[in-house]
Structure 1
């Protein structure tokens, strides 16, 4: 790692830099993503000049602990922030690398490091905070080309937006209209010091290969490459916004009362409209849309199956599943406990995405029940009305139109006070009058909540 420039900003500050930051949205707390490189260091100095005196400017340095020079970079960032009287949050992360071959290892490492970095940012930013990131026009060219080569659609080719939400906070990129050459010229003019990371020269990484081998040749042929790519990204962004607007209209047309998609309504859309709706629907849940080379086969599997079939698509952290005449988005929940667990007063139970607790409903309950939380084992019976007949739980769940994948994950609660286990609750679908209502006859109230409630 080599140092460039000297120790601090001098001379006349470029008006373009100050103006770029002046356009940022209002915020509660202001943070700069600081890597130690040219772009982020210049951004920190610019933000310090404009906002440092207000005492609300912070920096976040994510140490991936992947390079031998990582400790030196961390020290540099801390010392720089100290010289500017800015608090520096250092976050050390561990980047998982499990790919076996060299090509997958480098590509996977890039993606894993990026994911770890953004996760660190989200964990440190609160509601209303703003994170400034120093991506510039050259980075935008890399991003668009990288996504083009990965087969991204218009959403990917839209590149990096100037601003976007990130968890409870937001991201703002003030340098996207500048080239790296412009930023470097300004930094040298201001005598700003930064670090050059030798890992940026490693062509095994896709973005480094694009930056060093491909983009220079493109720029030699088309000198205004940044401007051309920016125009393409803008057009794709507008196209993506139009596609999202259309998806919202189709979602309202196809939406079921329980937030699924009606299969009959889906069939009235063209294949392109179906793809657009599904991708938008999954993205709205905060997950990556399906990655498939044969959308026709995927959608036909859902729409042409008989009502008693249950086709599904497994995505990253979720599943698309058909139940009766609707398509549902199902988040992968934590695994259910293997063994039944007692439910006692003051000792809540977390059970596969559910939270169960037992609270007194009377000042001095007559007795303390012996409740047990468990999953379906088969053969359970349910008595919905006091004094009424008991029925097989399996048949009752089918009549309630509970999807098959939910039946096995539904927490059941049984009372074994009298020696024989009696079912007193089946998830949120039914709770015995002994444990619910204004005045439960047992003197205790059973509360069941889902993580999504």
Structure 2
């Protein structure tokens, strides 16, 4: 690839990028990052450019490579920062996790991280994910750009082959480090590179480019599936951010799986693969109507209640002692498990509390009863929560307004008999939005 052609491609990839505070480059000193740093030093403002070299301390040459990276940065006239990490093992996954954690610690709002992944890397990623049984989103490969916390990530060389990079680097007289571990076949990526992709390229020299085209088409497919999932989610979402089981059941099996992947992935961060979808179908969707099954998904739980599906996040609850000291007044009161709202009204058109004076907050107690306004006799609090459809895992953390030991109101649900404002009186409307 001619020198000006590669630089034009680099500039083209950066053309649509705006509002960049700093340009940061993941710089190992290998071929791809060496070329990336060279291009960036020629095109970008060096005062806003920073190389990040991650020293994994996994090989005897690690410190020498870090020193070489510092020398190269000085020669380019750009700043560099060496980040020392300690992966939990020498595996590819652990090293990558440690590396990205180090990047995240350095990145802030407005920063753009440039990585030197190229077309051969994309082809290797596609083949690896194919062996893992990935779907359209996984087979779309590495995205050219994405959000990274408050910052962004861009791979401007993703359409350029390794051969094109090496030819360009040699023509420019660049030198780079060669990591001997790149030839170790016990690593999956190296095996794919040397034993799978290399023979394919002997037969089809443009194999990485062809695979890149397929990855792009699969990225389009994944985008369409997400659009469909968002439309289905809007149609199936109930008024408590759960999936209505009856509406979910009206979708085809494929659309159900697509919706569950999207919804659960967004809510829990868990990758919802085929085996997990089978467990959801067997353990939740097909469970008896009288059961309330649940399935743990990382820190979250997927639960079924009255036929609908809900994601239960790890529950943090305001301690009882702290809750008891909360001063009640019109406005919003943020608790760890949700938001309590108190609105003063002078025309009562819905159940409202007649006063806040002398009232406090606490949680329910075993065996308690109360009498909602307009009802005959008292009722067990447990039965009332069931009647009002309060999700079982929210009941113990639902704040109650009390006067001494007497329950006065359950915000968002009812006001108790004797405590309601009359139609001509001022009052307070209580709301509760669980977190």
Q: Which TM-score applies when normalising by structure 2?
A: 0.77
Aligned positions of 1:281-430 closer than 5 A: 281-285=263-267, 287-293=269-275, 295=277, 298-331=280-313, 333=314, 341-342=321-322, 378-379=366-367, 392-408=380-396, 410=397
Q: Is the counterpart of residue 21 in structure 1 residue 11 in structure 2?
A: yes
Question: Offset at 1:414?
Answer: 9.2
Q: Is the 8 A contact 1:163 1:173 kept in 2?
A: yes
Question: Offset at 1:244?
Answer: 1.5
Compared CA separation, residues 352 and 114, structure 1 to 2 (3 A):
farther
2:43 to 42, 47, 50: 50
Compared CA separation, residues 263 and 188, structure 1 to 2 (3 A):
same
Compared CA separation, residues 412 and 210, structure 1 to 2 (3 A):
same
- Which stretch shows the higher mean deviation, 307-316 or 225-234? 307-316
Q: Is the 8 A contact 1:52 1:86 kept in 2?
A: no
Q: Is the 8 A contact 1:313 1:320 kept in 2?
A: yes
Compared CA separation, residues 312 and 68, structure 1 to 2 (3 A):
farther
Compared CA separation, residues 186 and 447, structure 1 to 2 (3 A):
farther
Q: Is the 8 A contact 1:27 1:128 kept in 2?
A: no
Question: Offset at 1:89?
Answer: 3.8
Q: Is the 8 A contact 1:144 1:158 kept in 2?
A: yes
Q: Note the aligned Cα RMSD (angstroms).
A: 4.1
Give the Cα separation in 2 of the matches to 1:84 and 1:427: 64
Tell me the number of residue pairs that the alignment of Structure 1 and Structure 2 aligns: 405
Give the Cα separation in 1 of the matches to 2:191 and 2:229: 36
Q: Is the 8 A contact 2:401 2:411 kept in 1?
A: no
1:66 to 58, 78, 98: 58
Compared CA separation, residues 131 and 412, structure 1 to 2 (3 A):
same
Question: Offset at 1:142?
Answer: 0.7
Aligned positions of 1:175-190 closer than 5 A: 175-190=157-172
2:73 to 54, 77, 81: 81
Partner of 1:41: 34
Q: Is the 8 A contact 1:307 1:323 kept in 2?
A: no
Give the Cα separation in 2 of the matches to 1:430 and 1:90: 60
Compared CA separation, residues 216 and 238, structure 1 to 2 (3 A):
same
Q: Is the counterpart of residue 269 in structure 1 residue 224 in structure 2?
A: no
- 2:142 aligns to what SS in structure 1? coil
Q: Is the 8 A contact 1:27 1:129 kept in 2?
A: no
1:247 to 219, 229, 235: 229
Question: Offset at 1:187?
Answer: 1.5
Partner of 2:106: 124
- Which stretch shows the higher mean deviation, 13-22 or 30-39? 13-22
Q: Is the 8 A contact 1:271 1:296 kept in 2?
A: no
- 2:45 aligns to what SS in structure 1? helix
Give the Cα separation in 2 of the matches to 1:35 and 1:64: 10
Give the Cα separation in 1 of the matches to 2:88 and 2:321: 34
Partner of 1:4: none
Question: Offset at 1:260?
Answer: 1.6
Give the Cα separation in 2 of the matches to 1:405 and 1:117: 38
Give the Cα separation in 2 of the matches to 1:422 and 1:44: 70
Give the Cα separation in 2 of the matches to 1:112 and 1:279: 25
Compared CA separation, residues 175 and 372, structure 1 to 2 (3 A):
same
Compared CA separation, residues 412 and 147, structure 1 to 2 (3 A):
same
Compared CA separation, residues 372 and 111, structure 1 to 2 (3 A):
farther
Q: Which TM-score applies when normalising by structure 1?
A: 0.74
Task: Show CA shifts across 1:211-246 (max 9, x none).
Answer: 122221222232221122112212211221221222
Q: Is the counterpart of residue 200 in structure 1 residue 190 in structure 2?
A: no
Give the Cα separation in 2 of the matches to 1:335 and 1:128: 32
What residue ranges of structure 2 are gaps of 5+ in the alignment? 328-333, 341-357, 420-425
Q: Is the counterpart of residue 144 in structure 1 residue 144 in structure 2?
A: no
Task: Show CA shifts across 1:22-60 (max 9, x none).
Answer: 32232333221222221112111211110134x222223
